[in-house]
Amino acid sequence: MKNQLRIIGGEFKRRTLTFAEIDGLRPTPDRVRETLFNWLMWDIQNAHVLDLCTGSGALAFEALSRGASQVTMIEPDTTQARFLKQNIQLFKNENCQLIVSTAQQALKKLSSTYDVVFLDPPYSLDLWQELAELADPLIVDKAYIYVEADRELTLLQLPNSWKKIKETKAGVVRAGLYQKII
């Protein structure tokens, strides 16, 4: 089985992406995605983006569509990784790297630094604090970090250098934009 989502803005607006039907895989809702990319409108251009728990690819491909210069996606599920590879080919974009691995394993090997980071792990795994601590050394000063959760963001124990600057809620989804201030 496969599911679909649509890119909502930028160069690839209205392009449809397919993704696997996997328990716990839930694309960021359109309304929340639109809000996020309105927040990042001036900062996504030419950004180096890290999508820690790529899943459907909604955030990563939206970032590419809106002008990110480089996107690194991390996805451990090999079935979903095949869908992501097909979507990368569909976009004909060489500025997109897919790492088929857990975020924890990938973060220990990455040496690049990032201007924008998406932290949206499967809710049931409760990985926010662990992934935030592993990713923090790769995040440049003044970078933006998008965090999505099913609980109050204050409960996530994120690094002290991450200052929340915006927040929204849609149903059970709570989303915040943080900026790293060293």
Complete DSSP assignment for 51-68: ETT-TT-HHHHHHHHTT-
Collapsing DSSP to helix, strand or coil, 74 comes out as: strand
Over the stretch 116-155, which tens digit does the pLDDT of each residue have?
999 999 999 999 999 999 999 999 999 999 999 999 999 9
* Model confidence pLDDT, tens digit, residues 67-90: 999 999 999 999 999 999 999 998
The domains of the chain, with CATH numbers, are: 2-180 (3.40.50.150)
Residues in the chain, total: 182
Q: What is this structure's pTM?
A: 0.95
Output the six-digit token pair for 77: 């599920």
